[in-house]
Amino acid sequence: MRAVAADAGVSPALVLHHFGSKEGLRQACDEHVLDAIRSGGEVDASALGHVLRAATPVRRYLGRALLDGTEGASVLFTEIVDRTEEWLAVGEAEGWVRPTSDARARAVTYVSWLLAPLVLGDQVGRLLGGDPAETATAVRGARAGLEMLTGGLFTDDRWLTAFTAVDERESSR
Amino acid sequence: MRAVAADAGVSPALVLHHFGSKEGLRQACDEHVLDAIRSGGEVDASALGHVLRAATPVRRYLGRALLDGTEGASVLFTEIVDRTEEWLAVGEAEGWVRPTSDARARAVTYVSWLLAPLVLGDQVGRLLGGDPAETATAVRGARAGLEMLTGGLFTDDRWLTAFTAVDERESSR
DNA sequence: ACGTGGACTGAACGATCGTTCAATACTCTG
DNA sequence: CAGAGTATTGAACGATCGTTCAGTCCACGT
């Protein structure tokens, strides 16, 4: 509270006066960040660019909220997953998305992948180029990701079959 | 400190006696979690199973450490990325990994994808089945991920070209 | 001009935090 | 059994936390 007030150049008491409590301020921050993300058009996979280009503070805050399980963040996550699942279903029907055995799991995993560089932004940025706030860094990772999603990373299904074997061995134990 | 001591059934003073300070306890936790992960054999992509099956508290702690930029967690992240890049290079040479235009970015993105369900474990678990601690839930997501990496998600390169177009338009502005 | 309401502040309160310290209980070695 | 070292504790200290409150300053409608 005192740090926030100092950054804003006001007294701690004023922050309380406007937001009621610390929790009130936190909810206001949630709404602000969530609105900032949603305002980038419809919340679906096409928002990729907006999310990746989001300013670093917003990225950090969203990552923290997602991890802490904030109610607003959970709602946003579910929202993105639902729309992504629909979007992938359309693609499947139109033939530009491969069929899957578990549409829900694929949508959830896809979204978590989409959000991964966002949550792990500091780590990714550190290894991909000095400035984590630099857009070019995020773009570089995004291109690498799209390459993997287009045509795949592996040329055969050796890891998929290996995983299946391991999984069956584990679960039968 | 007091909560940790209460959970351990001892006094707060004893925790300080053993770990010196709160920071000392935190570093000890870092080492414990990191060792627990590393003990699952070599730290490379084959550790996928171990990481995914790690107990939920460890997962949560690692996620938080990764996000907070703990030194130990940063070292671990870099370590995994380096070994993954080597591993992918071998696969590329042997023909079971597709070539890429940016090996480093691909390794970083791959690792962040690997860690995503781990960091976002609560969200993923919530949408994939009631119990986030349940192994079956993580396995379901892992299979969906491997499917996407094997043969790809998209059947053509429409999104890759679309992304390239958007990126060039943005960067020329 | 006046007063009413909201923006805004400084000081303080109680709670909680990490930490210190003297003192006690316990467990070995000689 | 005596003694040394370790484990363990309760109480307290100072710092920081979110919050309260009485009061000041300022803008604006009548």
Statement to judge: residues B24 and B79 lie in one domain: no
Domain membership of residue A7 (yes or no) is no
Integer Cα distance of A48 and A32 in angstroms: 19
Q: Is the CB of B12 under 7 A from strand D?
A: yes
A72, A113, B105 from A129: Cα distances, Å: 32, 20, 10
Statement to judge: residues B67 and B11 lie in one domain: no
Tell me the mean pLDDT in the region A43-47: 45
pLDDT at B8 over 60: yes
Out of A120, A140, A163, name the one closest to residue B66 (CB).
Answer: A120
Lowest mean pLDDT of A82-86, A112-116, B59-63, B103-107, name the range: B59-63
Average pLDDT score, chain B: 82
Residues of chain B contacting residue A49, judged by C-beta atoms under 8 Å apart:
163, 166, 170
The SS3 call for residue B131 is: coil
- pLDDT at res. A125: 85
Chain A interface, best mutation among B84, B137, B147, by max A CB count within 10 A: B147
Domain membership of residue A116 (yes or no) is yes
- Residue B60's domain spans which residues? 41-164
The length of chain B is: 173
- pLDDT at res. A3: 95
The SS3 call for residue A69 is: coil
Tell me how close the Cα of B26 comes to any Cα of chain A, in angstroms: 19
How many folded domains does chain B comprise?
2
Q: Is residue B88 within 8 Å of residue B106, measured between CB atoms?
A: yes
Query: pLDDT (tens digit, 9 = 90+) per residue, B136-167?
Result: 777 788 889 989 999 888 888 888 888 787 77
Domain membership of residue A79 (yes or no) is yes
Statement to judge: residues B68 and B148 lie in one domain: yes
Statement to judge: residues B17 and B97 lie in one domain: no
Residues of chain A contacting residue B49, judged by C-beta atoms under 8 Å apart:
163, 166, 170
CA of B53 to C1' of D7 (A): 36
Query: pLDDT (tens digit, 9 = 90+) per residue, A56-78?
Result: 677 778 888 888 888 888 888 99
Domain membership of residue B169 (yes or no) is no
CA of A3 to C1' of C22 (A): 37
Alpha helix positions (H), chain B: 2-8, 12-19, 22-38, 48-53, 56-68, 71-94, 103-119, 121-128, 135-149, 158-171
Residues of chain B contacting residue A116, judged by C-beta atoms under 8 Å apart:
112-113, 115-116, 119-120
Looking across all nucleic acid strands, the nucleotide with the smallest C1' to CA distance from residue A15 is C8
A2, B61, B70 from B64: Cα distances, Å: 24, 5, 9
Helices B135-149 and A103-119: angle between axes, nearest 10 degrees: 90
Tokens encoding B106? 């691909």
Domain membership of residue A5 (yes or no) is no
Q: Is the CB of A12 under 7 A from strand D?
A: yes
pLDDT at A173 over 60: no
Domain membership of residue B170 (yes or no) is no
Domain membership of residue B47 (yes or no) is yes
Statement to judge: residues B54 and B102 lie in one domain: yes
Contact (CB<8Å) A127/B97: no
Statement to judge: residues B14 and B94 lie in one domain: no
CATH number, position B88 = 1.10.357.10
Residue with nearest Cα to nucleotide C17 C1': B1
Domain membership of residue B85 (yes or no) is yes
Statement to judge: residues B33 and B47 lie in one domain: no
Q: How confident is the model at residue A106 (pLDDT cuts 50, 70, 90)?
A: very high
Task: Give the A:B interface size as CB pairs under 8 Å.
Answer: 220
Contact (CB<8Å) B151/A152: yes
- With CA atoms as reference, report the closest residue to A97 among A85, A81, A114: A85
Statement to judge: residues B85 and B119 lie in one domain: yes
Statement to judge: residues B14 and B80 lie in one domain: no
